Amino acid sequence: MPEIARFVKNGSATVTPAVAEKVVRMLPQWKLEFTQIHAPEFPHLVDQLEFLADAVEDAVEGAYKELPYMAVAQAVFALLYAHKKTGIIPESVQMLGRADNSSVVRAVLIQNEKVFAVYAGKQGVDWQKITSQP
Q: At what angle do helices 69-83 and 2-12 cross, to 10 degrees?
A: 100
pTM above 0.75, yes or no: yes
CA angle 96, 98, 59 (to 5 degrees): 160
| CA 45/CA 33 separation, integer angstroms | 13
Q: Label residue 125 by pLDDT band (50, 70, 90).
A: very high
Q: How many domains does the chain have?
A: 1
Domain that holds residue 39: 2-130
* Per-residue model confidence as pLDDT tens digits over 30-81: 999 999 887 778 888 999 999 999 999 999 999 999 999 999 999 999 999 9
* Per-residue model confidence as pLDDT tens digits over 78-96: 999 988 755 555 454 455 5
